[in-house]
Amino acid sequence: MSNIDSIDMPSIANLSRLEHVIGVAHLAGEVGFRGGMEPYDFLALRAAALLHDWAITSFGHLVEEALQYVGTRFDHEERLREIMTSAEPAEVGGVDMQILVGRETGLRGWANKVVGRQRSEQLLSDIMESIRGRGPWGRVIAGDIDLDNVDNVFRMAYHLGLEVDRGVPIRIARAIVGITPERGELVFKAEAESDIGAWRTARRDVYEHLMLAERDFIGKVMMLSAAVGAYEAGEFTQTDWSFVDHQFITLLLGSGVREVKETAERWIAGELWDCTPLRWMEGERPDYPALRAFSHAVGSELGRTCFAYAIKDKRERRLAITFDDGSRRAYGADAHQWLLGIGSPRKEPFSSTQVEKAFNLASQTFGSRVLAPARRAGSQETQACLF
C-alpha cells in the first residue's frame, strides 16, 4: 500500500492491497442505506469495493507513475475499464485475460453464476462504473470522502502505531444514509461530523508520515529511475503493467542496462542514492514528462545524473458534506503546494551550492516559488536523504 517496501516505516513495508480491498468491501457492506438497496445493487457495490485496485501496477502506483514519466498516460482504472470491456486490443482476452501470474481472472464465470448470462455483462459494467466513481453508488467508492480512503487512512494509521479510534471507519460507513439526487453526493447522519473530523485528522497525520519519509522518498526515486531506464531500453512495456512485484524487480535486476541493474541492486541492499533536502513548492505539481525533462536539465546544470520526483500535498482537501438534517457544510482547503526532491546515483552528497542551483532552476522551470523546507511537525529541518 505504501508503493514501496518502506525503510523509514517498516511496520507498513508489507501491508498489502489485498488486506485493504477486503476492508473496503466490508465497509461497503455496512453502508447506512443498504437496507433500501436491491440485492443486485448491493452485490455490484461490494464487488466494486473488492475489485477497485484490481488493475494496480506492481509496486502500487509507482510503476504507473514511471509509465507516465515516459509519456504513456497509463491509468490503472482506465486499463481496468479496457479489460472489462475488451476495448484494448493489446490485452488479449478482455475480462478473461491471464492477469494473475498466467491465470484468468474468472470474473465472467463468477458474474454468469451470480446473475445469469443475460445480466453478467451489465453487472461487470456497473462494477466498473462504481470503481470510477460513477453510477448511482460510485461516490461510495471514489468521491470526496469515500470508503476507499477511509479504510486506507485508518489501516495505515493503525500499522504506523498512530493513536486513532479504530471504530471510526465502521461508524462513517453506517452514517452514509443516502445519495443526493441533484449532485450524486453522499448524505451523512448529522451525528457523524465528529467522526468525519477524526478521519480528516488521521488523514493529515498519515500523509505527513508518508510524504516526508525521506528514505522512502529516495527509494521511490530509485525505482522510478530504474523503471524509466528499462522502458527506454525496450525491456519493459505497457503490456507488463500486470507484473507482480517480484516479477518486476527480477526484470530490473536482470536488465542489460548497467545503470538500471545497479540501481535495483542498490535499492535491494539499502544503499540509497543521495538526495537533496525536500522542499515545498508553490502551486500545482507539474506533470511527469515535465519532471523528466527537468531531471535532464538539472543534471546538466549540476554535472551529475539526476532524477526529480514530486508529490502533490495530500494532507488536506476541500470538502463539502451534506447531512441528513438538511445542512451542507464546508471543511478544509485545497493544498496549493507540492513536494520536490532530486536524487542522484553519484555517491556524493549534494553541496549547499548544488541544492540552491537545483531549486532555483526548479523555480524558473515550473514558475513555482520555493516555499520552505519539508519537515514533520515538531521535527528538525529536513536533512539530505542519506542512509
Three cell numbers at 286? 507539474
Please tell me the CATH superfamily of domain 10-54+105-211, with its number.
Hypothetical protein af1432 (1.10.3210.10)
**Can you name the residues that pair with 339 across neighbouring β-strands?**
280, 311
- What pLDDT, on the 0 to 100 scale, is given for residue 184? 83
Tell whether the model's pLDDT for residue 116 goes beyond 90.
yes
289 contact partners, CB below 8 Å, separation of at least 6: 68, 69, 70, 71
CB-CB contact of 283 with 289 (8 Å): no
Q: What is the C-alpha to C-alpha distance for residues 149 and 85, in angstroms, rounded to an integer?
A: 26
**Can you name the residues that pair with 275 across neighbouring β-strands?**
343
pLDDT tens string 131-144:
989 999 999 999 98
Q: How many CB atoms lie within 10 A of CB 88?
A: 16
Q: What is the C-alpha to C-alpha distance for residues 136 and 139, in angstroms, rounded to an integer?
A: 8
Three cell numbers at 367? 514558475
Tell whether the model's pLDDT for residue 198 goes beyond 90.
yes
Question: What distance separates the 2 farthest-apart alpha carbons in the chain?
Answer: 67
pLDDT tens string 82-96:
666 655 555 545 556
Q: What is the C-alpha to C-alpha distance for residues 92 and 242, in angstroms, rounded to an integer?
A: 13
Q: What is the C-alpha to C-alpha distance for residues 286 and 310, in angstroms, rounded to an integer?
A: 8
> pLDDT: is 102 or 265 the higher one?
265
